């Protein structure tokens, strides 16, 4: 299960909205299910392009992936795959806005949260989601 292998915690604003997700247990601990079903978040910061990318992530079904190229096309900038990758690396709300569902064109995972050494987190979440879809 994702929660046993990967710790998730959040930071909230004064209104109780989630403003940042972390992969640690240093903040308010939450489960994967609490995050994926949560619409009580505030998206602040980022450029208009980054926010468009982040919000488009919610349209990718759990357990499936799309490429950086497809995401670029979805937000109206088909040549902006690199900018999509940079936006995903800065996503303040991973899991809620599931950037782990975007992969390289060849299907390989690529980085996660701007870090190549965090790919195992991306892989674990995708495996968990695929197993959920099988049930």
Give the residue numbers spanning the domain of 72: 2-134
101 contacts 95 by C-beta, under 8 angstroms: no
Provide the domain count of the chain.
1
The share of the chain scoring above pLDDT 70, in percent, equals 95
Highest mean pLDDT among 22-26, 86-90, 126-130: 86-90
The token pair that represents 30 in the structure block:
């939450």
77 contacts 38 by C-beta, under 8 angstroms: no
Mean pLDDT of 13-22: 95
HEC-encoded secondary structure of the chain: CHHHHCCCEEEECCCCCEEEEECCCCCEECCHHHHHCCCCECCCCCCHHHHHHHHHHHHCCCCCCEEHHHHHHHCCCCCCHHHHHHHHHCCCCCCCCCHHHEECCCCCCCCECCEHHHHHHHHHHHHHHHHHHHC
The pLDDT of residue 1 is above 60 = no
pLDDT of 95: 93
User: Which pLDDT tens digit goes with each residue over 67-126?
Assistant: 999 999 999 999 999 999 999 999 999 999 999 999 999 988 887 877 777 888 899 999
The token pair that represents 107 in the structure block:
């299907």
The CATH number for 111's domain is 1.10.10.10
Mean pLDDT of 10-16: 95
> Residue 29 — pLDDT band, cuts 50, 70, 90?
very high
The token pair that represents 113 in the structure block:
């949260």
Active-site amino acid positions: 99
């Amino acid at each position: 299960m994702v929660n046993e292998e990967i710790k998730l915690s959040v930071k909230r604003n004064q209104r109780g909205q989630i403003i940042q997700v972390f992969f640690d247990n240093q903040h308010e601990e939450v489960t994967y299910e609490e995050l994926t079903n949560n619409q009580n978040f505030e998206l602040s910061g980022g450029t208009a392009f980054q926010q468009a990318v982040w919000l488009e992530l919610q349209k990718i079904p759990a357990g499936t992936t799309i490429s950086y190229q497809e995401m670029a096309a979805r937000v109206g900038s088909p040549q902006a795959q690199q900018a999509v990758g940079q936006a995903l690396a800065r996503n303040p709300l991973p899991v809620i806005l599931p950037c782990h569902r975007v992969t390289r064109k060849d299907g390989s995972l690529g980085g996660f949260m701007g870090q190549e050494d965090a790919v195992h987190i991306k892989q674990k979440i995708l495996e968990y989601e695929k197993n959920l879809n099988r049930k």
